Each structure stands twice: as structure tokens, then as C-alpha cells.
Amino acid sequence: MLEIAVLIPCHNEEVAIPAVIRGFRSALPNARIYVYDNNSTDRTREAALAAGAVVRREDLQGKGQVVRRMFADIDADIYVLVDGDATYDPCDAPAMVRRLRDEQLDMVVGMRVSDELAAYRRGHRFGNGLLTALTGYIFGRTFTDILSGYRVFSRRFVKSYPAHATGFEVETELTVYALEQRMPVVEVPTRYVSRMQGSESKLSTWRDGWRILLTIIKLTKNGKPLAFFSAISAMCLALSVALAMPLFATYFETGLVPRFPTAILCAALVLLAGSLFVCGLILDTVTLGRREQRRLAYLSYPPLSDDKAVH
């Protein structure tokens, strides 16, 4: 039988965590439920222990830090990652797990579906849509909800994932990693509800949105350096041409170049554009080697076995 681990990162979720644990124990009775307490100042740890979860602690603050620790510490065949705020429906977990196993997938993402404005605020919807569109434009095939905190993973995904994110940008990093490695992944709708009364969100729309955007830019630089540096190179070259056009016009009329500082700036911009393009070419070769190493690390773990059942 396949071993399933439910991973729940938590920070100050005393109110909601018992309901989350009960829900997943009912939906996945044979799974082991792990709660990682991330420096909670309330009784999250005690509530999780009383509900029957395996409770551990991560002192480095941030959801990305907790996910990195969970993925490193826990061995299983299938991993269910979910937030501890009781906003996701545990009843969808068995179907997500079965689909991962039956279709030999590496990640199933729970796409949030909600009619409750308080559960999924317009600002968050807009930001999620914008970041999802940007990620799809840069990395190709993408999801409609890259920031979902409800996901099911294979062992080979979890153990080969190079975790760098520290905060809520971890979902973006997980998505981009799957897209870069061209893993078999799907997205399924899942019900999303409001937080329980007394439970407060730790997500800051502007701060975390900005961090997620910076993460996308960083992942673009690291994953597609030729495109990244070529774009900056093209901007430098375009600026140089725009500044040089009046100089050429004056030169053709008078045979003189009266604005030497501008001419020097144009020449410097052209040199910078060339240097950036060369950097992109070199780093693209390095990135190809790194991507091949990640692929080999991914393939070093066997796929889910067809002769094991999911319960």
C-alpha cells in the first residue's frame, strides 16, 4: 500500500488546525498527518497534538522554510500539502491522490473555486490572475491558480525539488519547477471557503505579491538567462539608438558631433548591450547543464508503483 503523508505548515492556527486534522484523517484514514509549527505564539502545537497529528517545529520563519524542512524530513510515496487554515476541502484529497497515482503524475494542484467574497478577495484574485498570466507567458504551459496552497506530489517531485523560497512565494517556485522540468501535472477544481471565526490570514496582498513577482523575475533570470539578458540588452540598444539619432542628423548636416557626452553614452550603451547578450549566452549554457543535473536527480527516484493500492 502506498504511504501517504499529509503536510500542514502552521503559524498561529490554534482555532483551525483541529478541524483540518480531523478532516484529513477522515478523508485519508491511512495517511500520516504532520503539522510543522512555525514559531506560533498561540496553542497551535497543543491543539495539533490533541487532534492526533505528528507535530514538529521549524524555527526559520516563513512558509517556504517550513516546506523545505518537511520535504527533507518526511519519507512517503505521496505527499499532500495543505494550509492549516481550514479553507481547503479535505474531501477532495482522495480523488487528487488517486489521479496522481492512476495517471503517474508528479503534481496535482487544487484550483480554488469559491463564491464567497471573503474567502477569495478580489485583490487576491486579480493578483493571482496577473502573476499566473505572467508565469504562463514566461514559462509556457501553466495553471489557472499558481498560488494554491493545496497540492499533491509524487516522491520524485518532493525529493528532487531544489527549495529556495522562504515565504509565500514557495507556491510559485513549485509551479515553475514543474514547468521547467516538463513534469506530468494537472489542475483540478477544489472548494475554497472562508477562514473560521477567530482565524486570521498571514498573507499581505502587497508585500507578498511583490515578493512573488520578484521570485518570478529571479526564476526567469536563473532558468532562462538568454531571454532575460537579451531583453535588457535590447532595451540598452534601443535607448542608444534613440539618443544617437539626433547626433547622426547633426553630423550629416554639419559634419560635426557637438555633444560628445551623449556620443560617449551611446557607445557605452552599445558595449553594455553586447556584454549583456554574451553573458546571456554563457549563462544559458551553464543553465542547460544545471537543468540536466536536476533532471537526473528527478529520474533517480522511481515512479509510483502500479501494484500498490491507494486507500
pTM of the model: 0.81
Residues 144-169 pLDDT 10s = 888 899 999 999 999 999 888 888 88
Q: What is the pLDDT of residues 123-139, one digit of tens each?
A: 566 677 777 777 877 78
User: Helices then strands (H, E): number in the chain?
Assistant: 10, 7
Considering only residues 291 and 195, tell me which one the structure prediction assigns the higher pLDDT.
Answer: 291
Model confidence at 259, pLDDT cuts 50, 70, 90, reads confident
Q: What is the mean pLDDT of residues 278-291?
A: 90
Classified as helix, coil or strand, 73 is helix
Q: Buried b vs exposed e over 103-136: b needs ≥16 C-beta within 10 Å?
A: eebbbbbbbbeeeeeeebeeebeebbeebbebbb
Q: What angle do CA 121, 125, 127 make, to 5 degrees?
A: 115
Give the per-residue pLDDT at 36: 97
Distance (Å, rounded) from C-alpha 288 to C-alpha 294?
10
Residue 36 · residue 11 · CB < 8 Å: no
Under 8 Å between Cβ of 143 and 129? no
Dihedral over Cα of 17, 18, 20, 21: its sign: positive
Is a pLDDT exceeding 70 seen at residue 306? no
Q: What are phi and psi of 34, to 5 degrees?
A: -115, 130
pLDDT: is 126 or 19 the higher one?
19
Cβ–Cβ < 8 Å for 90, 24: yes
Residue with cell 549554457: 285
For residue 301, what is its C-alpha cell? 527516484
CATH 3.40.50.1820 fits 4-223, yes or no: no
The rounded distance, in Å, linking the Cα atoms of 139 and 291 is 14
Inter-helix orientation angle 170-180/205-223, to 10°:
30
Residue 308's pLDDT is what? Answer: 59
Taking CA atoms, 146 is separated from 73, 87, 153, 265, 291, in Å, by: 25, 16, 15, 42, 22
State mean pLDDT over 24-52.
95
Domain ranges of the chain: 4-223, 225-297
